[in-house]
Amino acid sequence: MDDYAVLSDAELAAVLRQYNIPHGPVVGSTRKLYEKKIFEYET
């Protein structure tokens, strides 16, 4: 999951959109959760 940590908030949001994962703004309190969602999607 670490390789998502290097992405900026905007880049992470772009991946969420690409994978059609429902999401709100990528901010401090939501970033970890979205990284996990992307990891789950990819695995």
Residue ranges in contact with other proteins by CB under 8 A: 9-10, 13, 22-30, 32-33, 36-37
d(CA 43, CA 8): 21
Shortest distance in whole angstroms from residue 22 CB to other proteins: 6
Instruction: Report in angstroms the alpha-carbon separations of 26 from 3, 7, 36.
Output: 16, 11, 13
CB of 3 to other proteins, least distance (A): 19
Nearest to 37 by CA among 13, 28, 6, 10: 13
Report in angstroms how near the CB of residue 35 gets to other proteins at its nearest.
Answer: 11
Select 6 or 27, whichever has its Cβ closest to other proteins. 27
